[in-house]
Amino acid sequence: MATASRSAGTRLRPAERRRQLVDVATALFLEQGYGKVSVADIARAAGISGPSVYRHFPDKETILAAAMRSAVDEMGETTARVLARPGATFEDLSSAVFAMAVSRPGPLALWRWNRRHLTAEQAREMIAASEGVLGSWTEVLRRDHPELTDDDARVLTWAVLAVGGSVPPSRGRIGIRRYRADLEVIARRVLRAAPSTAPELPAPPPHRAPVVRSDEILDAASELFFSRGYSAVSMDDIGAAVGISGPSVYGHFPSKGSILVGIVARARAALEIGVVGAAGLSDGDPLAELRALVRSYAANLVSSTDLAVAFTVGREVVIESGGEALLAAQKAYVARWVALLAAGSDGDTPESGAALDAAGARIAVGAAMTIANDFARTRRLRGRPRFHDELVHLVDAALGI
C-alpha cells in the first residue's frame, strides 16, 4: 500500500510536496482504482492533512493530470537527453525509455488506463505534449531506416512506445535487466513489421446485427462508452442513440451498470469462443493455436468495441458491475497465450541467446496484448483501412511467431 515517503510533520518545499503527492496518488490510483481514491486517502498516505493537499492541487482530477503529465514529461526529458548525444539512434531512444518504464512503470500505466478521467482541456494538453515526443521519435526512426515510409515510421513508433508501456506496475520476480533486455528484443522484431508489408488476411466477420431491442441498446452503449467514456454517458444518451427516450431504456435494463454487465458478458463470451475455435484449428501445434488466437482477438477488437470497453472502463467499475467473471476469464486467456508461446518456442530465442522461459513468454505476451489493446483504443489507428491486417502483423512480430 502507498505510504508517506517522509514522516508526518516534515516540512517540504512546495515543489517537493507536489512531487510527493503525485507519487503517492499514482500508487494509490494503481492499487485501488481512480474512482476509489479520495483526496483524504492521498493526504493520509502522504502524512499530511486533507486541507494541506488543496494548497497544492485544487482537486483530485488535477492530481491525476499532474501524475500523467509527469510520465509524458519524463519521456520528453529522456528523449531530449538521448538526442543530445552525437549519433543517437532510435534503438538508443527505445532502450532509455524502456529503462525508465521498467524502473518506474506506475506513471506510464496510469497514463494508459486513466486518460478517460481527464477533462477535455487536460486531454488536449497531454496529447499535444505526447505528440511532440512521438514526432521526435518518428523523425529519428525515418533517419535510421530510410526504407520506411512516413506512415510506417509513425505507426511503428506507436508500437514501440506500446511495448515500453506494457510493463505492469509490479514486475513480480523478473529483474530489471532481464525485463529491459527482453523489451529491446521485442522492439527489434516489431520494427521489422512495417504496416505496409502486412499480409492481406480474410476480413473479420462483421459484428452480428441486433435482433432485439436489448441487443441494439448494448451495441449503442458499447460505442458510446468507447467514444466518450463510461462515466460521461447517461441513460438519455443511450436512449437517443437507439431512438427511444432515456426512461424507456429502463424497460430493458435496470441501470447503466447492468448495461455494462451485458457488454462485459459479450466480451467474455468472445474470448471463450476464440479459445475453443483456436484449439480446433491447431491440430495440437501450440504456435498454430496461438496464431489462431491472435487472429480471433484482433477480429473481435475490429468488429466490436465490447472488448475495448470491457478492458478500458476501469477494473473497479467492471467489478462493481458484476464483471469479476470477465477479469477471471481475461487472466486465464492471457495465461493461455503465455503457455502456448512457451510450449511452441522449444526454449530458444536466437536474438537474445536465452531460453524463452515462462517469464520471457509473459513479457512478450504483455507487449503483444498492449499493442493490440492500445491500437484498438486509439481512434486514429483503429480507423486505418487495413487496421486488422496491420494489427495481426504487429502482434505476431511482438510474439516472434
CA-closest candidate to residue 2, choices 57, 49, 46 = 46
The amino acid at residue 150 is D
pLDDT digits (tens, 9 = 90+) for 373-387: 889 888 788 888 899
pLDDT digits (tens, 9 = 90+) for 9-27: 567 888 899 989 998 998 8
State residue 91's pLDDT score: 94
Contacts for 142 with CB less than 8 Å, ≥ 6 apart = 148, 150, 153
Res. 350: pLDDT tops 50: no
- 349 - beta bridge partners? 354
- Give the CA angle between residues 173, 177, 179 to the nearest 5°: 60
Rounded mean pLDDT of 37-58? 91
CA-closest candidate to residue 369, choices 358, 381, 361, 357 = 361
State residue 175's pLDDT score: 84
Residue 129 near residue 73, CB atoms below 8 Å: yes
Q: What is the DSSP letter of 283?
A: T
**Of 301 and 228, more confident:** 301
Residue 224 near residue 237, CB atoms below 8 Å: yes
Res. 61: pLDDT tops 80: yes
Residue 266 near residue 221, CB atoms below 8 Å: no
pLDDT digits (tens, 9 = 90+) for 173-200: 888 888 999 999 999 999 999 999 999 9
Confidence category of residue 355, pLDDT binned at 50, 70, 90: low
Kindly report the pTM of this predicted structure.
Answer: 0.84
Cell numbers representing residue 165 in the block: 508501456
Cα–Cα distance between 115 and 29 in angstroms, integer?
A: 12
Cα–Cα distance between 166 and 341 in angstroms, integer?
A: 17
pLDDT digits (tens, 9 = 90+) for 302-313: 888 888 887 776
**Of 146 and 257, more confident:** 146
pLDDT digits (tens, 9 = 90+) for 281-296: 778 889 999 999 999 9
